Amino acid sequence: MTLRLLASSVSRRLGVALGAVAALTLSALLLVSECAYGGDMGARYKTCECLGLEWELYDGRAADGPHKTVCVGIVRSRTCYRMTGGPIVECPR
Residues 8-24 pLDDT 10s: 777 888 888 889 998 88
pTM score of the predicted model? 0.57
Phi, psi (deg, nearest 5) at residue 65: 135, 180
Q: With a cut of 70, say whether residue 44 has pLDDT above it.
A: yes
Give per-residue pLDDT as tens, 54-81. 888 876 555 555 678 888 888 888 888 8
Domain boundaries, the chain: 2-89
Q: What is the pLDDT of residue 16?
A: 87
- State which of 22-31, 44-53, 65-74 shows the largest mean pLDDT: 44-53
